[in-house]
Amino acid sequence: MPEFYNYIIEMEGIHKSFPGVQALENVDFNLKKGEIHALVGENGAGKSTLIKALTGVEKQDEGTINLEGKEINVKSPQHAQRMGISTVYQEINLCPNLTVAENILIGWEPRKWGRVDWKTMNARAKEILQGLDVDIDVTQTLGSYSVAIQQMAAIARALEISNARILILDEPTSSLDAHETQQLFGVMRKLKSEGMAIVFITHFIDQVYEVADRITVVRNGKLVGSYDTATLPRLELIAKMIGRSLTEYDDMTKIKLESSKHIKGEALLESKGLSNEGGIEPFDLELHSGEVVGFAGLLGSGRTEIAGLLFGIEKPDSGTLTVAGKEVKNFSPLASITRGIGLCPEDRKAAGVVDDLTVRENIILAMQANRGWFKYLSTQQQYEIANKFIELLNISTPSADQPVKNLSGGNQQKVILARWLATNPQVLILDEPTRGIDVGAKAEIQKLVLSLAEEGKACVFISSELEEVIRCSHRIAVLSNRKKVAEYSGEVDEKVIMQSMAGSGS
Amino acid sequence: MKKSKSSFTWRRITESKLFFPFLALAFILLFDLVFIPNFFAVQTREGNLYGSVIDIMRNASTVMLLAIGMTLVIATGGVDLSVGAIMAIAASVAAVMMNPVIIGVELPPDLMKFINDPSFTYSPLWEVILVTLIVAIICGLWNGVLVAYVRIQPMVATLILMIAGRGIAQLITNGVRIQIFYGPYAFLGQGWIVLPFSLYIVAIVFAIAWILTRKTAIGLFLESVGINFRSSFYSGIDEKKIKLLAYAFCGLCAGIAGLVASSNIKTSDANNIGLTLELDAILAVVIGGTLLGAGGRFSLLASIIGAMVIQAITTSMYALGVPAFALQAIKGVVVIFVILLYSEQVRGFVRRISAPREV
């Protein structure tokens, strides 16, 4: 490689696995001096694991990291900082009730006679911030400034305490408005011109094209590739992020075609102008029994919000929801279960499994909630139900009495599916049911969704992987920017869908 | 191999929630056996049983009652600091109902002369108990509403009633310590039917709590809400109602404990009844292996054993002649010991020595 010495960081063949999940598989990542390098991929793709390996938060199982051509072994975040690798995390890890100067220099205060030299400290902090083109009163508390300024202070601190040569910005713009974002970009460009290597993690495609020189895409723990921003069209980037392979259209297509004949005409669930403030703009949607409707859209496009509204996690501000001909008045998960709606939530750990409970208890939980406090399923009934679904869904567990936390991600997901199937729902909403689980389990779940539809249930299938959505769904609703922008049925070309996903910007 | 089979069952015993509380109790009783002569002696008088061991159980009954309710609250991931104060409120309500003269209620002259008579009460006993327990449940509901619906941290929410409760109790009795003369009421805390009557009360409350949590879905929901309230909510469990129920039941238990305690000392001593007992109750539950703060899996029986452990320490120390003021320090040492015993290291050690030997 002729430009070998240009790379300040070279990560090669990084592997990392967590119990049940292969988080990173043979990922390479290179970073040049004086470039802004965007690291993109959907949630759970492995971006943060890769960064954690680089910053010493997690040790990679295999693979090497070179800093300026020399192999390094990053032991801890502190160690990484000493080598000049600094990170500014998504949530700002500063103290809002301390002054800006204190926040920037805490732990590194200039001292005089053993006491903090406030004058020098404030002057130094001001100087550092001016270097970032920010001119503010550093003796005010940090909390009195906007999030953008706080972000700058965090960057200033990262630069100052470690004499950083590599700056990692993890979703720095997620809580900034357009003007603040521009301010941040200005700083990033300035640092770049001074030779700083910047890793920029973001979900916003527009921003990638605005500041990044190069783009590295990861998906499912694997490297998709690194590209020059100028040579990679937007549409292609989205395609790479959400994955597709035009080759394999297996028997799933046949099942889908066969099952599409059974779709009922009248709507089982109908939403008219349903919306909630800050969640999703008014949308119309119909679900028919026997049908799988896919939601395509990037993270934050509103797909999870729709699921939350339909299931009653959130209450709508306007619009009506009709289930089986009756208008819904009472929005709550319990009322939804009684109506025959189920939701496999997106965040399996936080909202799905109850990890200390056994597989059996996890499976009967929603069913029991629907029966109420006093119609308790006998232990024998519980075992019967649990064992039925363990067999049906092929859940690999030593027994129904195993705490669910001891199961792998895929099997935990199946337990959640079993929990909902046990309630015998008419409408089943699956939000990212295949995230973070292995390929085999993925295919099983996809087939299961289609067979559920064949039994006459209506399913909503939400996934970041477009290929998967297309493969499983009879009809696809496309979401972008908290709006439902399009709906397609029958055979659809991925390109068309991506076009709608990308919105007006493409 | 014979060995491996026995160590498998041994392992099941050590993994049980009851293992450590029983071990702690056994340690203390073993200590008593060695150092205190006649500790286990039981006498029979008029068909009733007396002795140090019986005393331990009788004196533990209030903490046992509190621990039953506290277990449910801690299982939901909360804590109730107000149970001692609820005891005081309950005692005051009961005393005022039996003897309202003291706060200035004029009785008809024909009743007035009976006021010190052990067979006299202004309100019938069933009414006294019913009203007292309803008041206690209302106290519990107050806590539950603050925690579940207003979403105040349990420690802060129940601190309100902990502080205000004794004041409320004083208000009810107009600041007077009311003596209780009524004989049947005194039976609650002091009566014996072979065993102390208060133990039968504990047994009944325990049975109700056990049936409520293990024969209905409530126990599962309590644990589920404690482990992961968001998942529970998504599964259709009304976590607010479950929490409300736990605090209300805890209030009820505290009310019963207040009845027993006031009947035992024959006054409504709003300043001292149940004082610091909330901490003993929490300690009992922690010794019983339910995780304070995290909640989740609980065992009512283990909490009962935990309450006995605490009382066994107290009684043993008194029997040894340790002065009352030094007792708190000794309890502190025991708490450290318990915490060490429950640490991951000791658990790992027990797991290692009880693990099957073959590989």
Collapsing DSSP states into helix, strand and coil, what is residue A290?
Answer: coil
Spell out which residues of chain A touch residue B220, defining contact as CB-CB under 8 Å.
357, 361, 365, 368
Closest chain B C-alpha to A306 CA, distance in angstroms: 15
Find the CB nearest B230 among A343, A351, A374: A351
pLDDT at A321: 92
- For residue A338, give the chain B residue with the closest CA: B236
Range from A427-436, B83-92, B138-147, B270-279 carrying the lowest mean pLDDT: A427-436
Contact A368 B220 (CB under 8 A): yes
CB contact under 8 A, A357 and B220: yes
- Subunit contact B216:A373, Cβ cutoff 8 A: yes
Question: Among A336, A357, A376, whose Cβ lies nearest the Cβ of B216?
Answer: A376
Of all residues in chain A, what percent carry a pLDDT higher than 90?
A: 23
Using CB atoms, pick whichever of A313, A354, A377 lies closest to residue B224. Answer: A354
CB contact under 8 A, A345 and B236: no
B272-312 pLDDT per residue, tens: 999 989 999 999 998 888 888 888 899 999 999 999 998 98
CA separation for the pair A172, A152 (Å, rounded) = 10
Q: Do domains A4-242 and A246-340+426-437+456-506 have the same CATH topology?
A: yes
pLDDT at A218 over 80: yes
Task: State pLDDT tens for residues A63-73.
Answer: 889 888 888 88
Beta-carbon separation of B216 and A357 below 8 A? no
The helix/strand/coil state of A27 is strand
Residue B36 within a domain: no
Whether the Cβ atoms of residue A285 and residue A306 lie closer than 8 Å to each other = yes
**What is the spatial distance between Cα A255 and Cα B276, in angstroms, rounded to a whole number?**
67
Contacts with A366 from chain B: Cβ below 8 Å = 235-236
pLDDT band at A43 (very low <50, low <70, confident <90, very high): low
**Domain topology for A4-242:** Rossmann fold (3.40.50)
Alpha helices in A163-211 (DSSP H): 178-193, 205-211
| Rounded-to-integer distance, Cα B73 and Cα B242, Å | 10
A48 with A170: CB under 8 angstroms?
yes
Closest partner residue to A366 (CB to CB) among B223, B230, B235 is B235
- The answer to whether B202 and B196 are in contact (CB under 8 A) is no
- Find which of A285-294, B112-121, B140-149 is predicted with most confidence, using mean pLDDT: B140-149
Superfamily name and number for A246-340+426-437+456-506? P-loop containing nucleotide triphosphate hydrolases (3.40.50.300)
**SS3 label, residue A465:** coil
Q: How far is B292 from chain A (nearest CA, A)?
A: 15
* pLDDT at residue B104 in the model: 67
Chain A interface disruption, residue of B16, B231, B249, most A CBs within 10 A: B231
Q: Does A334 touch chain B (CB under 8 A)?
A: yes
User: Distance, in angstroms, between B222 CA and closest chain A CA?
Assistant: 11
Q: Tell me if B43 is assigned to some domain.
A: no
pLDDT for residue A152 is more than 60: yes
Cα radius of gyration (chain B): 22
Indicate the residue of A343, A351, A376 with minimum beta-carbon distance to B217: A376
Of the pLDDT bands very low, low, confident and very high (cuts 50, 70, 90), residue B208 is very high
Task: Determine the distance in angstroms separating the CA of B214 from the nearest CA of chain A, rounded to an integer.
Answer: 9
A376 near B CB under 8 A: yes
- Structural domain contains residue B46: no
Residue B97 pLDDT > 70: yes
Crossing angle, helix A409-422 and helix A439-454, to 10 degrees? 10
A421 close contact with B: CB closer than 8 A: no
The percentage of residues in chain A with a pLDDT greater than 70, rounded to a whole number, is 92
Q: Which residue has the higher pLDDT, B163 or B107?
A: B163
Contact by Cβ (8 Å): A500, A485: yes
Interface A:B, Cβ pairs < 8 A: 74
Q: What is the mean pLDDT of residues B25-42?
A: 85
Question: CB A356 to CB B297 under 8 A?
Answer: yes
Q: Distance between CA atoms of B139 and B89, rounded to whole angstroms?
A: 9
CA nearest A138: which of A200, B90, A152?
Answer: A152
Domain ranges of chain A: 4-242, 246-340+426-437+456-506, 346-424
Q: Which of A275-284, A441-450, B69-78 has the lowest mean pLDDT?
A: A441-450
In angstroms, the CA A318 to CA B323 distance is 70
Listed ranges A26-35, B68-77, B317-326; the one with the highest mean pLDDT = B68-77
**Is A415:A407 a contact under the CB 8 Å cutoff?**
yes
Q: Enter the pTM of the model.
A: 0.76
- Asked if residue A5 has pLDDT above 60, the reply is no
B215: domain range?
17-31+53-354
A498 in contact with B, Cβ within 8 Å: no
Q: Residue A461 to residues A84, A304, A468: CA-CA distances in angstroms?
A: 44, 11, 9
- CB contacts of A308 in chain B (<8 Å) are none
> What rounded mean pLDDT belongs to chain A?
84
CA dist list (Å): A424 to A289, A444, B60 = 13, 19, 48
Q: Domain total for chain B?
A: 1
- Look at residue B356 in the predicted model and tell me its pLDDT: 57
* Stretch 341-360 of chain A: residues touching chain B, C-beta under 8 Å: 343, 345, 350-357
